[in-house]
Amino acid sequence: MVRGKTQMKRIENASSRQVTFSKRRSGLLKKAFELSVLCDAEVALIIFSPSGRLYEFSSSSQMSHTIERYQKNARTLANLRITDEVHTQQKLKDEAADSYKKLELLEDAKRTLLGENIVSCSIAELVQVEEQLEKSLCKIRARKHTLFQEQIHHLKEQEAKLRKVNTDLKEKCEMVGMSSIALSQPLSPDMEVETGLFIGPPKTKANHV
């Protein structure tokens, strides 16, 4: 018979709960002992039953020694976490201060380029600002020239397309005009036209006897 999976919740029946506790406790103590022997690990296990009874296992000679060792390591780990947090906070503060200084320098440079903060500048600093502005103007003019050239090229392409359309329309108009003239032009008086009219008595056929 296949054993069903135990649902992980409190067992309501008191006797079933006590039986399960005894079985699981024995198994847990056995696993703790095996772990200490097979892996040469220092293991301490403390269990309180629902009634408050204490069960314990220690691979060392004294349970208190293992507990003291745990508390010492726990304090060390807590101190390390606190140190890491303090170090992280200080690092973030330093980065924020550095970013603030860089922002101030950028703002000062911006004001200098706009001519708002040049009273305290030396001649060398003013020359440097002038060179920066000249370089910026060269780049701006080059970009503007490129945009003008692109716009002129685009307009020339549009002009060529419009010229072609205009030529095609002109040719079509000329063809339509010539066809209309040919249809509406009267006949010339010099043009001979054969008709069935004649002047004089009608010809009669001779009667042959």
Q: What is the pLDDT of residues 88-104, one digit of tens each?
A: 999 999 999 999 999 98
pLDDT of residue 200: 58
| Same domain assignment for residues 48 and 77 | no
| Same domain assignment for residues 66 and 98 | yes
**Is the predicted pLDDT of residue 31 greater than 80, yes or no?**
yes
When divided into structural domains, the chain yields a total of: 2
Q: Is residue 50 part of a domain?
A: yes
**Is the predicted pLDDT of residue 69 greater than 60, yes or no?**
yes
| Same domain assignment for residues 43 and 88 | no
Domain boundary among 120, 142, 167: 120
**Model confidence pTM above 0.75:** no
d(CA 153, CA 17): 91
pLDDT of residue 208: 47
Q: Is residue 107 part of a domain?
A: yes
Q: Is residue 3 part of a domain?
A: no
The stretch 67-81 carries a mean pLDDT of 90
Task: For the beta carbon of residue 43, count every other beta carbon within 10 angstroms.
Answer: 17
Q: Is residue 171 part of a domain?
A: no
Residue keyed to tokens 């220092």: 42
The stretch 131-159 carries a mean pLDDT of 92
Domain boundary among 89, 120, 151: 120
CATH number at residue 38: 3.40.1810.10
**Is the predicted pLDDT of residue 123 greater than 90, yes or no?**
no
45: which strand partners?
57
**Is the predicted pLDDT of residue 159 greater than 90, yes or no?**
yes
Q: Is residue 38 part of a domain?
A: yes
| Same domain assignment for residues 51 and 67 | no
Higher pLDDT residue, 182 or 161?
A: 161
Q: Is residue 114 part of a domain?
A: yes
199: which strand partners?
none
Q: Is residue 103 part of a domain?
A: yes
Q: Which residues contact 55 (CB under 8 A, 6 or more apart)?
A: 25, 29, 46, 47, 48, 49
pLDDT of residue 43: 93
Among 3, 7, 49, smallest CA distance to 26 is for: 49
User: Which tens digits make up the pLDDT trace of 99-121?
Assistant: 999 998 888 888 887 887 787 88
Residue ranges making up the domain that contains 43:
14-59
